Structure 1
Amino acid sequence: MPRHARNSTAGSVYTYHEKLKDSYQSGYGSTKVRLGKDSIKDFDCCNLTLQPCFYPVITPEGYLYDKEAILNNILAQKVSIAKKLKEYEKQKQQKLDEENNKDKEKKEQLIKKFFEKSSTSFEKQTSSESSISNMMNGKDKQLPSFWLPSLTPDQKPTDLKKPDEVVRCPMSGQPLKMKDLIEIHFTPINDGDKRNIIAKELRYVCPVTNDILGNSVPCAVLRTSGSVVTMECVEKIIRKDMIDPINGKKMKEKDIIPLHRGATGFSGTGVNLKAEKEGAVMTA
């Protein structure tokens, strides 16, 4: 058997392996990537900046943001909504003006025809049979032409839909207002290390149980005090009396907000670790 016959490109069938290889090299099809730990944010990082929060705030759905970043995002959404709404109102007014102009032209044509009929003493005899040709009765002047600028068909503008006027959370897509943001604070770890808190790998602890907080530890925020505690503390201590152990205030079930944390890079953390980007389909 010659050497060329053993190559994968010498077969008469376009194999599945060759199709995947060509799709990957040419950029066709959906690209799937398994995310590692380096691609996942830490539990105390902002969902927008992906950096540790200086002024952490949380939404009612449990998404953590830096206060400056989320306020800038809300402001940008409001500016974008106002711009889209202005364009929509402008297009709506243009359509209304066009309809008014058409109605006005129809009325003028009716008046003109009325005076023409009244001024003439005879009526033109019209043929009972109408021609089906597209070149009769002046239709030849209405045909579009791509060679003559005067007869080139105009491109119709796309109709804009009324924009959504609600500011939404960038992560959950739920409506979000500034007053809904809850200020929280983490309890720094007291290990005698004088380095900056951002430079440490282990930064914060639960203020009740003193357990170290991390991506592998489920956490919750207490709305009444803004403290971040572990879910184990919530289940074993707080849910018994529903009293905030930090300030002693009465709590309700809605005051316990589970924090959307990062992941460890392992599949068992309950976080989707697959990213998919859709692309053009390659037809074979």
Structure 2
Amino acid sequence: MTRHGKNCTAGAVYTYHEKKKDTAASGYGTQSIRLGKDAIKDFDCCCLSLQPCQTPVVTPDGFLYEKQAILEYILHQKTDIAKKMKAYEKQKQAQKNDSQLESKSEEREKVEKFKTRENSIVSKPINPFTSGQNRVGEKIRMDSSSSSSAPSCSGPVASSSKSLPSFWIPSLTPEAKPTLLKKPDRYVCAVTKDVLGNSIPCAVLRPSGSVVTQECVEKLIKMDMTDPVSGDKLSDKDIIPLQRGGTGFAAAGVELKAKEARPVMQV
């Protein structure tokens, strides 16, 4: 358990910080953390690529996706499955070859054991006068071969360093002119032209695919249940609330807490 501070040795209060620290160190219980702004996507970003959508599509639950990202994800999954299947077939063939090699090696070991047993029955006499001379000759030949194969270090060492070529950056030349900035595009409501953002609840109209604010839906569209862009009749299913992001301090349409369930200590 975490020790109290030097000036609080007599205190019986178990602080929240000490409790969190002990929980993290013990490895038991559910650990939760509040997400920051960087961990939450904006309302106009794809749920797969987390980048602003160019060709957006929305699910019935209000989750926004990039059409190209969906196709790339499906293609990536097919390619990944094909790679895994190929690797599995290769592993299966390797296991089959290993089993065949093991069976052959077992047979070879049996043959070698049989040969050693047969050779050990009849022993050849050893001449003590010639065996020592052969060993000395082998040692001399080994010493001479090792001395002749030693590499020489007298030659110079070649350097393989290469210098990077110099180049010019067009935007830093004296003749370069500052580029003209364009007015940034902003998402607005298709009816009221109000600026859209993470702090404004939005909805998608299914017939026309237009994005409007929830305030416009409540005050204008639900009065006659007609799409103001296409003129089609709307039902409750045709108005899809768009899932939006938020900040780490304000609630929105997403879960702002991440939880990790760990084993529970039982008495």
TM-score, normalising length: structure 2: 0.51
1:224 aligns with 2:212: no
Counterpart of 1:68 in structure 2: which amino acid?
Q
1:223-242 to 2 correspondences below 5 Å: 223-242=206-225
Tell me how far apart the structure 1 counterparts of residues 7 and 19 of structure 2 sit (CA, whole Å). 12
Per-residue displacement from partner, 1:249-278 (whole Å, max 9, x unpaired)?
232322211111112333443543111123
SS in structure 1 at match of 2:33: strand
- Residue 61 of structure 1 aligns with which residue? 61
Larger radius of gyration: 2
Structure 1 portions without partners, runs of 5+: 86-192, 198-202
Asked if structure 2 preserves the Cα contact closer than 8 Å seen for 1:27 and 1:279, the reply is no
1:263 aligns with 2:246: yes
Per-residue displacement from partner, 1:194-241 (whole Å, max 9, x unpaired)?
2454xxxxx211021011111111111111111100111111111222
In terms of fraction of residues, the more helix-rich structure is 2
- Residue 35 of structure 2 aligns with which residue? 35
SS in structure 1 at match of 2:204: strand
Cα gap change, 1:77/1:35 in structure 2, threshold over 3 Å: closer, same or farther? same
- Residue 172 of structure 1 aligns with which residue? none
1:194 aligns with 2:182: yes
- Residue 163 of structure 2 aligns with which residue? none
Tell me by how many angstroms 1:81 deviates. 8.0
SS in structure 2 at match of 1:269: coil
Asked if structure 1 preserves the Cα contact closer than 8 Å seen for 2:244 and 2:252, the reply is no
- Number of aligned pairs? 169
1:1-284 to 2 correspondences below 5 Å: 7=6, 18=18, 20-24=20-24, 26=25, 28-29=27-28, 30-76=30-76, 194-197=182-185, 203-269=186-252, 271-279=254-262
Cα gap change, 1:210/1:32 in structure 2, threshold over 3 Å: closer, same or farther? same
Q: CA RMSD in A?
A: 4.0
Tell me how far apart the structure 2 counterparts of residues 72 and 27 of structure 1 sit (CA, whole Å). 42
Asked if structure 2 preserves the Cα contact closer than 8 Å seen for 1:216 and 1:264, the reply is no
How much identity, in percent, do the aligned residues show?
Answer: 57
Q: Relative to structure 2, which stretch is displaced further, 272-281 or 238-247?
A: 272-281
Tell me how far apart the structure 2 counterparts of residues 222 and 43 of structure 1 sit (CA, whole Å). 16
- Residue 89 of structure 1 aligns with which residue? none
Asked if structure 2 preserves the Cα contact closer than 8 Å seen for 1:28 and 1:282, the reply is no
Q: Relative to structure 2, which stretch is displaced further, 266-275 or 206-215?
A: 266-275
Counterpart of 2:56 in structure 1: which amino acid?
P
Q: Relative to structure 2, which stretch is displaced further, 229-238 or 251-260?
A: 251-260
Cα gap change, 1:257/1:82 in structure 2, threshold over 3 Å: closer, same or farther? farther
SS in structure 1 at match of 2:32: strand
SS in structure 1 at match of 2:237: helix
SS in structure 2 at match of 1:204: coil
Tell me how far apart the structure 2 counterparts of residues 206 and 54 of structure 1 sit (CA, whole Å). 17
SS in structure 1 at match of 2:215: helix
Asked if structure 1 preserves the Cα contact closer than 8 Å seen for 2:44 and 2:52, the reply is yes
Tell me how far apart the structure 2 counterparts of residues 231 and 41 of structure 1 sit (CA, whole Å). 20
- Residue 134 of structure 2 aligns with which residue? none
Asked if structure 1 preserves the Cα contact closer than 8 Å seen for 2:244 and 2:254, the reply is no
Asked if structure 1 preserves the Cα contact closer than 8 Å seen for 2:46 and 2:64, the reply is yes
Per-residue displacement from partner, 1:17-75 (whole Å, max 9, x unpaired)?
65632443x48244321122222111111111111112111112211011111223344
Cα gap change, 1:254/1:283 in structure 2, threshold over 3 Å: closer, same or farther? closer
Counterpart of 1:194 in structure 2: which amino acid?
K
Cα gap change, 1:60/1:269 in structure 2, threshold over 3 Å: closer, same or farther? closer
Cα gap change, 1:80/1:254 in structure 2, threshold over 3 Å: closer, same or farther? farther
Asked if structure 2 preserves the Cα contact closer than 8 Å seen for 1:47 and 1:63, the reply is yes
Tell me how far apart the structure 2 counterparts of residues 261 and 5 of structure 1 sit (CA, whole Å). 43
Tell me how far apart the structure 2 counterparts of residues 78 and 27 of structure 1 sit (CA, whole Å). 42
Structure 2 portions without partners, runs of 5+: 86-180
